[in-house]
Structure 1
Amino acid sequence: MSTVARGRIHSWDISTGVDGPGTRFVLFVSGCPLRCLYCANPDTWHMRDGKETTADEVMAEIEKYRAFITTAGGGVTITGGEPLLQPAFTGAILRRCKEAGLHTALDTSGFLGARVTDEFLSHTDLVLLDIKSFDTTTYRRLTGRALAPTLAFATRLDRLGVRMWIRYVLVPGWTDEMKSVEGLARFVEDLSSVDRVDVLPFHKLGAAKYEALRLPFPLHDTPAPTHDSVERVRQRFRAHGLRAY
Structure 2
Amino acid sequence: MLRQKANFDVLEGFLTVFLGEKATILEILESESNQLSVEDKFNRVDIKARNSKDEIIIEIQNTRELYYLERILYGVANAITEHISLGKTYYKVKKIYSISVLYFDIGKGSDYLYYGQNHFVGVDHLQVNVKERDAIVSRMPAEIFPEYVLIRVNEFDEVAVTPLEEWMKYLKDGTIRPDTTAPGLSEAREKLRYFSMPPKERMAYDEHLSAVMIQNDVLDSAKLEGKIEGRAEAYLSMARNMKQLGAPVDMIVKTTGLTVAKIDAL
TM-score (norm 1): 0.30
Which structure dedicates a bigger proportion of its chain to helix?
2
TM-score (norm 2): 0.28
